[in-house]
């Protein structure tokens, strides 16, 4: 929508000023977010008419010269008054068509498309020569449709964007520091809890073998007694029936075995928690990546119960010098996102009544070359759209709800891999083709020996 004024009686001059932009200045705002002036002056208009036009509209940065519908160029306010202030300027240009002044000036113009970002436009404007530094900018809306933008307004908008950028960086830094502090505190809590659980679990696991031996000895004594004294008294026979002695002979070893397996499971979980809790470690150490991945899978095993198949294609890779706790965090973030994608696909297929595909998570490790190892984590979900892939590692970017996602997981993972380990984190995805994250870690040459 435009506000239009026609000061010339022959309707050969058109002044149109865009309404106040409907949106506030943002980081990605373009020239369309600024005040745009459409000031068209026919070549037949006199210099006096242009001067009266500029006097009537003191905010106009300049006028656009047209011949009918054909765009010829621009004369800025400062250039116009500069030539009229020269000796004989008024007598030369006030009564003559403005085309005469336009031919003499031959002003260089900075013309930019309407979708140019304000930041890029300001950079282009400031790269001009000192003489042209504060000249207005032409915005091209179409082949023959141009608008004028005051460079002062452009620089003000750039300043606002710089303030927004600084505030965003401050907020991101603050949130990242809070997240890091939370993770450090969480790691300490997990390590403390794991340590407290580990002691009683070790006691149980350590004594289970003795308990198993004692029970076996008691069963042997009882069975030998029955063989030597087959005739029991009525009270003993009744007691055997009450305690179901024959069933105890069969079930007690199985019961002790199941307790042993459960204890070993708890022990594995505790060890996994202890490994995962060392995310803030300040020193690298030789780490078996397969154990690191297995510990991570162990911690989220409860989320893999609902039909998600895990395929491990482990290659022969040597230990890697790394921060094992931080790598566990990376694997946890990537695998958790893959599980979310698989669960979303399952839910949608159930609602649509589509044939259910077996959800699958494939983890592959291999030596990429003499200096790097590769870990790929792939799913067979619906994939990630291209416009999302471009922002997937950006801080605070997420497609999930506020309850499910913070937008920090993959951003922190990217930092851990690239900055902490000097590696690479790559994404390959396509619609209906699933998603694959590839972690590439540097491998010391002597570790290959």
Give the pLDDT score at 188.
Answer: 66
pLDDT average, residue stretch 343-358: 77
Q: Are 135 and 78 in contact (CB under 8 A)?
A: yes
Give the pLDDT score at 282.
Answer: 56
Range of lowest pLDDT (74-78, 80-84, 294-298, 309-313): 294-298
For the cut 60, the answer to whether the pLDDT of residue 337 exceeds it is yes
Give the pLDDT score at 173.
Answer: 76
Give the pLDDT score at 415.
Answer: 86
For the cut 90, the answer to whether the pLDDT of residue 377 exceeds it is yes
End-to-end CA distance of the chain: 73
Contacts of 197 (CB under 8 A, 6+ apart): 266, 270
Residue 381 CA to residue 344 CA, distance in Å, equals 8
Give the chain's mean pLDDT.
80
Range of lowest pLDDT (13-22, 92-101, 201-210): 13-22
pLDDT average, residue stretch 341-347: 84
Categorize the per-residue pLDDT at 363 as very low, low, confident or very high, splitting at 50, 70 and 90.
very high
Give the pLDDT score at 373.
Answer: 92
**pLDDT digit string (tens) for 176-197?**
677 666 666 666 666 677 777 7
Give the pLDDT score at 437.
Answer: 92
Q: Name the residue among 158, 41, 141, 62 with its Cα closest to residue 107.
A: 62
Rg (CA), the chain: 38
Categorize the per-residue pLDDT at 274 as very low, low, confident or very high, splitting at 50, 70 and 90.
low
Categorize the per-residue pLDDT at 113 as very low, low, confident or very high, splitting at 50, 70 and 90.
very high
Q: What does 250-297 look like in DSSP terms, one character per residue?
A: HHHHHHHHHHHHHHHHHHHHHHHHHHHT-TT-SS-EEE-HHHHHHHHH
Categorize the per-residue pLDDT at 314 as very low, low, confident or very high, splitting at 50, 70 and 90.
very high
Q: Are 62 and 87 in contact (CB under 8 A)?
A: no
Give the pLDDT score at 307.
Answer: 79
Categorize the per-residue pLDDT at 299 as very low, low, confident or very high, splitting at 50, 70 and 90.
confident
Phi and psi for 112 in degrees, rounded to 5?
Answer: -130, 145
For the cut 80, the answer to whether the pLDDT of residue 35 exceeds it is yes
pLDDT average, residue stretch 404-423: 78
* Percent residues over pLDDT 90 in the chain: 13
Q: Name the residue among 308, 329, 294 with its Cα closest to residue 381.
A: 308
Range of lowest pLDDT (235-239, 293-297, 313-317, 407-411): 407-411
Q: Name the residue among 336, 328, 340, 337 with its Cα closest to residue 417.
A: 328
Higher-scoring residue by pLDDT: 414, 446: 414
Residue 216 CA to residue 210 CA, distance in Å, equals 10
Residue 20 CA to residue 444 CA, distance in Å, equals 60
Task: Give the global pTM.
Answer: 0.49
Categorize the per-residue pLDDT at 18 as very low, low, confident or very high, splitting at 50, 70 and 90.
low
Give the pLDDT score at 407.
Answer: 57
- Please return the burial class of 445, using the count of CB atoms within 10 Å of its CB with bins 0-12, 13-18 and 19+: exposed
pLDDT average, residue stretch 74-82: 90
β-pairing, 37-42 vs 13-18, is: antiparallel
For the cut 60, the answer to whether the pLDDT of residue 289 exceeds it is yes
For the cut 80, the answer to whether the pLDDT of residue 46 exceeds it is yes
Residue 325 CA to residue 327 CA, distance in Å, equals 5
**pLDDT digit string (tens) for 141-164?**
888 889 999 999 999 999 999 898
Categorize the per-residue pLDDT at 365 as very low, low, confident or very high, splitting at 50, 70 and 90.
very high
For the cut 80, the answer to whether the pLDDT of residue 276 exceeds it is no
pLDDT average, residue stretch 5-24: 51
**pLDDT digit string (tens) for 217-230?**
888 888 888 787 77
Give the pLDDT score at 303.
Answer: 75
For the cut 80, the answer to whether the pLDDT of residue 166 exceeds it is yes
| Contacts by 104-109, CB closer than 8 A, 24 or more apart | 105/75, 105/79, 107/73, 107/74, 107/75, 107/76, 107/79, 107/135, 108/132, 109/73, 109/74, 109/138
Helix (H) or strand (E) holding 150: none
For the cut 90, the answer to whether the pLDDT of residue 412 exceeds it is no
Q: Are 29 and 23 in contact (CB under 8 A)?
A: yes
Give the pLDDT score at 313.
Answer: 93
Categorize the per-residue pLDDT at 366 as very low, low, confident or very high, splitting at 50, 70 and 90.
very high
């Amino acid at each position: 929508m435009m506000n239009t004024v026609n000061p010339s009686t022959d309707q050969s001059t058109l002044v149109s000023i865009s309404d106040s932009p409907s949106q506030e200045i943002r980081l990605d705002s373009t020239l369309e977010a600024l005040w745009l002036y459409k000031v068209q002056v026919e070549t037949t208009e006199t210099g006096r008419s242009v001067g009266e036009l500029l006097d009537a509209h003191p905010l106009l940065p300049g006028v656009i010269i047209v011949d009918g519908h054909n765009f010829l160029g621009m004369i800025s306010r400062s250039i116009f008054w500069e030539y009229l202030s020269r000796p004989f300027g008024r007598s030369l240009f006030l009564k003559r068509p403005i085309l005469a002044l336009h031919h003499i000036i031959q002003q260089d113009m900075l013309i930019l498309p309407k979708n140019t970002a304000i930041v890029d436009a300001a950079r282009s404007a400031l790269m001009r020569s000192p003489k042209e530094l504060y000249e207005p900018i032409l915005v091209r809306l179409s082949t023959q449709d141009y608008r004028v933008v005051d460079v002062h307004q452009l620089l003000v908008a750039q300043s606002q964007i710089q303030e927004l950028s600084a505030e965003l960086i401050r907020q991101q830094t603050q949130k990242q520091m809070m997240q890091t502090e939370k993770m450090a505190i969480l790691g300490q809590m997990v390590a403390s809890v794991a340590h407290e659980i580990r002691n009683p679990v070790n006691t149980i696991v350590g004594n289970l073998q003795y308990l198993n031996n004692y029970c076996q000895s008691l069963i042997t004594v009882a069975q030998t007694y029955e063989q030597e004294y087959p005739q029991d008294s009525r009270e003993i026979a009744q007691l055997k029936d009450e305690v179901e002695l024959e069933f105890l002979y069969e079930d007690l070893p199985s019961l002790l075995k199941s307790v042993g397996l459960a204890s070993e499971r708890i022990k594995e979980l505790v060890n996994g928690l202890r490994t995962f809790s060392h995310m803030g470690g300040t020193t690298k150490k030789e780490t078996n990546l397969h154990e690191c991945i297995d510990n991570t899978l162990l911690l989220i095993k409860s989320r893999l119960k609902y039909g998600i198949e895990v395929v491990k294609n482990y290659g022969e890779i040597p230990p890697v010098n790394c921060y094992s706790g931080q790598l566990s965090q990376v694997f946890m973030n990537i695998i958790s996102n893959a599980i979310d994608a698989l669960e979303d696909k399952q839910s949608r297929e159930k609602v649509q009544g589509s044939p259910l595909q077996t959800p699958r998570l494939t983890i592959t490790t291999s030596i990429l070359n003499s200096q790097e190892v590769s870990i790929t984590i792939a799913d067979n979900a619906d994939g990630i759209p291209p416009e999302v892939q471009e922002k997937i590692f950006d801080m605070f970017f997420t497609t999930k709800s506020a309850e499910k996602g913070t937008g920090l997981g993959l951003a922190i993972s990217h930092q851990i891999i690239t900055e902490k380990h000097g590696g690479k984190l790559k994404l390959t995805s396509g619609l209906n083709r699933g998603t694959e994250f590839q972690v590439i870690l540097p491998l010391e040459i002597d570790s290959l020996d």
